[in-house]
Amino acid sequence: MPHREGIREYLKDVQVHGVVIDWGCGTKPIGNYLLPNTAKFVNIDKLDHVGADLVLDMSNRIEIGITADFAFCLEVLEHVWNQKTLLMNIHRHLKDGGVLYLSQPFFYEVHKEDDRIRYTHHGLRQLLEECHYKVEDIYPTVGDLDHAEGYIVRARK
């Protein structure tokens, strides 16, 4: 999957510390993407069989009592009807100056029955800014910005 390899390539030099929340952790592949670290990971997913620390519907407003230095939301946005609610949940649980890494496919095969909504890089920027993030980088995982298989974004609270 070239798109996922593009995500892995983008994240290979990312160093995290403190508390990291992985929103939509799945089987927790983020640990395979990052440099070795001593961060405390909190894994959230809607599926109870993936071994997440918290099983929650992230498309509804939630409060988990944790704030993080870093957040990851990889390949989740396209599966959620309420993207703004999800992004505001993440925003609320990020420390001031905290960093969000978000990815989504774009020109990519439909991969699940709940694969619903995809954004161009312009749409991702607007969505994140509407949710009070400062977008620092939008990177095409394969191709260029206008012909991307997918995107990864770095944004700051």
> 107-141 pLDDT, tens per residue?
766 667 766 788 999 999 999 999 999 999 999 99
CATH of span 2-156: 3.40.50.150
Q: Quick one: which of 50, 52, 114 has its CA closest to 77?
A: 114
Is pTM beyond 0.95? Reply is no
Give the H or E element holding residue 150.
strand 150-156
Token pair recorded at residue 69: 């230095």
Q: Quick: pLDDT tens for 24-44.
A: 998 887 888 898 888 999 999
Is the per-residue pLDDT at 76 higher than 70?
yes
Distance of CA 141 to the CA centre of its chain: 14
Q: Under a CB-based contact definition with an 8 Å cutoff, are residues 88 and 127 in contact?
A: no
Count how many residues are written for the chain. Answer: 157
**For the chain, how far is it from start to end, CA to CA, in angstroms?**
30
Is the per-residue pLDDT at 18 higher than 70?
yes
Is the per-residue pLDDT at 17 higher than 90?
yes
Q: What is the pLDDT of residue 84?
A: 96
**Whole-Å CA distances, 29 to 25, 99, 147:** 7, 18, 26
Strands (E) across 32-129 are located at: 40-45, 54-55, 68-74, 94-105
Distance of CA 52 to the CA centre of its chain: 15
Q: Quick one: which of 13, 8, 146, 149 has its CA closest to 74?
A: 8
Average model confidence (pLDDT) across the chain: 92
Q: Which residues contact 144 (CB under 8 A, 6 or more apart)?
A: none
